[in-house]
């Protein structure tokens, strides 16, 4: 029977739609947005009188009247409160008339009459008010009046009633579109979309929901739960159940977080989600959502909705092949909640239908007959809703087919076929053909069965093609709508651009005139300032020339000082050299020569300073190189096969740092030449590098014999060693001697100059 699955599914959609229409009526979700919350109302009612001006007091009175008027099922006391506040607003407006207030009072009084059951009086007042508003050209009030008039057609969902309601909503849209009432426009389009989806015009319904959403976005309105719930229902009708669920969940999230009274809407959303998960085959989730909706209906003590939702849960249990569980559940509901009297739009007996389904599934045909007879009796009611009648016929046909009462089944098949052709329901015609196929198969009339099976498949294919055509048409309309919106946006942008260009041209003109005047003023000021500046520059220039002369004199004086210091040091060296010629004591001679080397290290520095273009910095590679050359010549390192290698970074230091560094190098290199090597010679490596931006490392290492194993650096007290320690402290550095394969003397010291001075490639000396 796989071929009959599509009509069966479409049949389920039709029944679901009928139930949704009834459920929308039962839940009675108001189309009018309440301006104030229940908490705000209670706060206002606790006050003895309303503060503020007459205008603000009228506004508060009308807000309260509107609140009580638009309650779902207002009590007599609540309607009395609404009447009291309407009268209070009228009295205040009589004493202090406000423009348009009398019309607003009339709109609320009309709604009050409707809530009180006096629809004839309310409609007459509203129609008269509309004519009066037209004379004032107040489009906002006119739109609200048409919207209120459309509410008089919300009491049932008959085709003609919905057409009338759509007409008045379109009139409201026409008025609101010429105003800036974005939220009102969105609300009208949402209701239009809801009505069109009930009338199976899904293409128009989708277009209207998108318009509503666009207006809500422009108004930054966040209470969009009703619109997203509607989008979920629309995508359900298109078979896109996952998208439907995403919109329903979004609606549920917004409704749950909102401070508005969304209890009935939350009930409806949970019911919709239940249907969505039925379609996806997730029966347990479907039961969960139907059960949540049922709990809300119970809390609202809404027995009619309770029975509708209980029927949905029973249908899921039957899909799960659990008729006993379905029976137990429905029995529990019927025992606890009284079935409401009367018929909702002659919508039929939900309990009898549901029990008949259960007993057919249990194959308890005797008990099923009792409920089948009740449905047959219901079909004799000429006012019975047509969709309910076709659903009754389906169950009656199934019962008679299951009990082999083929003649009765055939009778109702023909009656159902005539009814479905009358109302133009192709979906259920396919289902009827499938039921006919089942009947003919049961009575072994296989040729007729094949004929009805082919008819069912033909209808199914026709429905599929029609659906696809509608979907393509919807996509085309959406594309054209987007194109038109893009063109409108482009035209608006061009208009705004032209207006902006005109404004800019005027602005440029005004700015040009102002700028010319300002330029003249500035030119005069600049001329005056220029004269003053020239005089100042002449004074500054003369002072700069004087300063340059003074600086030049200072440089020459410093060079002369360094030159004389160097000459004096040369004299000292000559004296030491002369004295050494008369010394016979080797120790004294050695001390004199050591002093000569030290003095020469200082003399070299002063020579570099007075021969340089600047006296501020010393190029360390050049200075160390000359010092090493001097020591090499003095000790004849070439003859002794001692090689001195240099690894020197380009570094320029203050003379205050260069002097101790030169003396440390003199001591370290001299000691290495004198004591580190035997007749075979060796290598001395001198390096100067930077470890980071703030520290430098000076290292002298040799490949000689090294220090004795028992040598204690801390106990060494020779002149050279003490001098190196003292000079290291002067540099604020860390002095280290390492003894391994030779001796390494290393000192790490901070560079006290800034980076720009200390790290430059150019040699100053």
Pick from 7-11, 624-628, 682-686: least confident: 7-11
- Reported as a single tens digit per residue, the pLDDT across 284-306 is 999 999 999 999 999 988 888 89
Backbone angles phi, psi at 427, to 5 degrees: -55, -50
Q: How far from 16 is each of 218, 453, 471, 476, 507, CA to CA, in Å?
A: 34, 24, 21, 29, 64
User: 708 pLDDT exceeds 70?
Assistant: yes
Please check whether residue 271 is in contact with residue 23, taking contact to mean a CB–CB distance below 8 angstroms: yes
Give the architecture (CATH level 2) of 137-221. Answer: Alpha Horseshoe (1.25)
Model-level pTM?
Answer: 0.57
**In this predicted structure, what is the pLDDT of residue 207?**
92
User: 156 pLDDT exceeds 70?
Assistant: no
Q: Which helix (H) or strand (E) holds 472?
A: helix 446-581
**In this predicted structure, what is the pLDDT of residue 7?**
41
- Reported as a single tens digit per residue, the pLDDT across 199-241 is 878 889 999 999 999 999 999 999 899 999 999 999 988 888 9
User: 147 pLDDT exceeds 70?
Assistant: yes
Give the architecture (CATH level 2) of 617-758. Answer: 2-Layer Sandwich (3.30)
Q: Which residues contact 582 (CB under 8 A, 6 or more apart)?
A: none
Burial class (CB in 10 A: 0-12, 13-18, 19+), 748: middle
Which one is predicted more confidently, 560 or 735? Answer: 735
Please state, for a pLDDT cut of 90, what percent of the chain lies above it: 26
pLDDT, mean of residues 188-198? 91
**In this predicted structure, what is the pLDDT of residue 331?**
92
Please enumerate, as own/partner, the contacts of 710-716 that have beta carbons within 8 Å and a separation of 24 or more: 711/739, 713/737
- Reported as a single tens digit per residue, the pLDDT across 352-362 is 888 999 999 99
CATH topology identical between 137-221 and 617-758: no
**In this predicted structure, what is the pLDDT of residue 211?**
93
Q: Which helix (H) or strand (E) holds 79?
A: helix 76-95
Helix (H, G, I), strand (E, B) or coil at 682: strand
CA 748/CA 590 separation, integer angstroms? 30
* Confidence class for position 765, pLDDT limits 50, 70, 90: very low
Pick from 218-227, 458-467, 725-734: least confident: 458-467
pLDDT, mean of residues 679-701? 87
**In this predicted structure, what is the pLDDT of residue 193?**
93
* Confidence class for position 726, pLDDT limits 50, 70, 90: confident
User: 602 pLDDT exceeds 80?
Assistant: no
Residue 477 tokens, joined: 């309309």
**In this predicted structure, what is the pLDDT of residue 593?**
62
Place of tokens 């979004």: 250
**In this predicted structure, what is the pLDDT of residue 185?**
94
**In this predicted structure, what is the pLDDT of residue 477?**
66
* Confidence class for position 186, pLDDT limits 50, 70, 90: very high
User: 33 pLDDT exceeds 60?
Assistant: no
User: 449 pLDDT exceeds 60?
Assistant: yes
Please state, for a pLDDT cut of 70, what percent of the chain lies above it: 77
pLDDT, mean of residues 722-750? 87
Neighbours of 745 (CB within 10 A): 24
**In this predicted structure, what is the pLDDT of residue 187?**
93
**In this predicted structure, what is the pLDDT of residue 757?**
41
Neighbours of 221 (CB within 10 A): 15
* Confidence class for position 332, pLDDT limits 50, 70, 90: very high
How many whole angstroms from its chain centre is CA 379?
A: 55
**In this predicted structure, what is the pLDDT of residue 552?**
60
Please check whether residue 366 is in contact with residue 356, taking contact to mean a CB–CB distance below 8 angstroms: no
* Confidence class for position 741, pLDDT limits 50, 70, 90: confident
Helix (H, G, I), strand (E, B) or coil at 699: strand
Q: Which residues contact 27 (CB under 8 A, 6 or more apart)?
A: 264, 265, 267, 268, 302, 305
User: 388 pLDDT exceeds 60?
Assistant: yes
**In this predicted structure, what is the pLDDT of residue 295?**
94
Going by C-alpha positions, the residue among 299, 363, 310, 359 that lies closest to residue 335 is 310
Place of tokens 């090294």: 706
CA 721/CA 713 separation, integer angstroms? 9
- Reported as a single tens digit per residue, the pLDDT across 481-495 is 667 767 777 887 887
DSSP 138: -
Pick from 55-64, 406-415, 753-762: least confident: 753-762
Buried residues in 686-724 as b, exposed as e (16+ CB within 10 A): bbbeeeeeeebbbbbbbbbebbeeeeeeeeeeeebbebb
Structural domain boundaries of the chain? 38-132, 137-221, 617-758
**In this predicted structure, what is the pLDDT of residue 616?**
66
Q: Work out whether strand 682-690 and strand 642-648 pair parallel, antiparallel, or are unpaired.
A: parallel
Q: What does the mean pLDDT of the chain come to? A: 80
User: 318 pLDDT exceeds 90?
Assistant: yes
Pick from 139-143, 158-162, 247-251: least confident: 158-162
What angle in degrees, to the nearest 10, is found between the helix axes of 386-402 and 406-423?
160
User: 19 pLDDT exceeds 60?
Assistant: no
Backbone angles phi, psi at 368, to 5 degrees: -60, -35
């Amino acid at each position: 029977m796989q071929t009959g699955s599509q009509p069966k599914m479409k049949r389920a959609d039709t029944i679901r739609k009928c139930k949704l229409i009834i459920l929308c009526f039962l839940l009675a979700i108001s189309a009018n947005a309440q301006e104030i919350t229940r908490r705000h109302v209670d706060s206002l009612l606790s006050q003895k009188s309303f503060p503020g001006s007459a205008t603000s007091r009228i506004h508060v009175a009308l807000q309260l009247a509107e609140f009580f008027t638009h309650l779902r099922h207002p009590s007599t006391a609540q309607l009395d409160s609404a009447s009291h506040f309407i009268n209070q607003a009228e009295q205040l407006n009589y004493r202090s008339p406000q423009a348009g207030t009398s019309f607003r009072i009339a709109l609320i009084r009309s709604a009050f009459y409707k809530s009180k059951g006096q629809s004839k009086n309310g409609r007459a007042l509203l129609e008269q008010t509309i004519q009066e508003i037209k004379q004032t050209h107040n489009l906002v009030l006119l739109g609200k009046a048409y919207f209120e008039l459309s509410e008089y057609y919300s009491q049932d969902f008959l085709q003609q009633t919905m057409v009338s309601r759509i007409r008045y909503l379109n009139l409201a849209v026409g008025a609101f579109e010429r105003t800036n009432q974005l939220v009102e426009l969105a609300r009208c389009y949402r209701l239009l979309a809801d009505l069109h989806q009930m009338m199976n015009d899904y293409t128009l319904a989708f277009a209207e929901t998108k318009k509503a959403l666009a207006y809500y976005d422009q108004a930054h309105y966040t209470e969009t739960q009703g619109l997203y719930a509607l989008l979920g229902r629309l995508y359900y009708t298109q078979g896109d159940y996952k998208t439907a669920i995403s919109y329903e969940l979004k609606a549920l999230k917004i409704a749950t977080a909102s401070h508005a009274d969304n209890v009935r809407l939350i009930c409806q959303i949970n019911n919709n989600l239940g249907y969505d998960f039925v379609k996806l085959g997730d029966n347990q989730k479907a039961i969960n959502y139907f059960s949540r909706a049922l709990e809300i209906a119970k809390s609202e003590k809404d027995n009619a909705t309770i029975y509708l939702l209980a029927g949905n849960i029973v249908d899921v249990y039957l899909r799960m092949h659990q008729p006993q569980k379905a029976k137990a559940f429905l029995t529990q509901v019927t025992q606890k909640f009284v079935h409401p009297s009367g018929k909702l739009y002659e919508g039929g007996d939900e309990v009898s239908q549901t029990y008949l389904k259960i007993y057919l599934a249990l194959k308890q045909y005797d008990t099923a007959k009792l409920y089948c007879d009740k449905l047959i009796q219901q079909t004799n009611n000429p006012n019975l809703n047509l969709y309910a009648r076709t659903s009754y016929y389906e169950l009656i046909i199934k019962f008679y087919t299951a009990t082999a009462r083929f003649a009765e089944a055939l009778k109702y098949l023909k009656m159902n076929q005539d009814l479905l052709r009358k109302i133009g329901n192709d979906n259920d015609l396919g289902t009827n053909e499938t039921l006919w196929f089942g009947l003919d198969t049961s009575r072994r009339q296989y040729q007729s069965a094949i004929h009805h099976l082919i008819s069912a498949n033909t209808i199914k294919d026709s429905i599929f093609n029609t659906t696809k055509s509608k979907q393509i048409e919807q996509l085309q309309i959406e594309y054209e709508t987007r194109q038109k919106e893009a063109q409108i946006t482009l035209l608006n942008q061009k208009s705004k651009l032209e207006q902006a260009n005109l404004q800019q041209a005027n602005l440029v003109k005004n700015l040009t005139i102002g700028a010319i005047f300002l330029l003249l003023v500035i030119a005069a000021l600049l001329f005056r300032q220029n004269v003053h500046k020239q005089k100042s520059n002449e004074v500054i220039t003369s002072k700069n020339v004087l300063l340059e002369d003074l600086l030049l004199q200072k440089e020459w004086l410093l060079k002369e000082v360094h030159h004389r210091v160097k000459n004096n040091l040369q004299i000292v060296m000559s004296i030491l050299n002369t004295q050494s010629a008369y010394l016979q004591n080797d120790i004294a001679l050695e001390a004199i020569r050591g002093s000569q080397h030290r003095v020469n290290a200082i003399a070299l520095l002063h020579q570099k300073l007075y021969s340089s273009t600047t006296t501020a910095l010393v190029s360390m590679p050049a200075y160390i190189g000359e010092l090493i050359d001097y020591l090499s010549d003095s000790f004849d390192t070439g003859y002794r096969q001692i090689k001195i290698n240099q690894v020197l970074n380009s570094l320029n230091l203050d003379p205050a740092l260069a002097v101790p560094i030169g003396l440390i190098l003199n001591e370290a290199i001299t000691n290495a030449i004198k004591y580190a090597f035997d007749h075979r010679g060796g290598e001395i490596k001198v390096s100067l590098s930077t470890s980071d931006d703030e520290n430098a490392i000076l290292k002298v290492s040799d490949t000689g014999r090294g220090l004795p194993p028992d040598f204690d650096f801390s106990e060494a007290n020779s002149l050279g060693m003490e001098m190196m320690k003292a000079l290291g402290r002067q540099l604020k550095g860390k002095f280290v001697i390492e003894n391994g394969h030779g001796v390494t003397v290393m000192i790490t010291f901070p560079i006290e100059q800034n980076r720009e001075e200390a790290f430059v490639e150019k040699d100053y000396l």
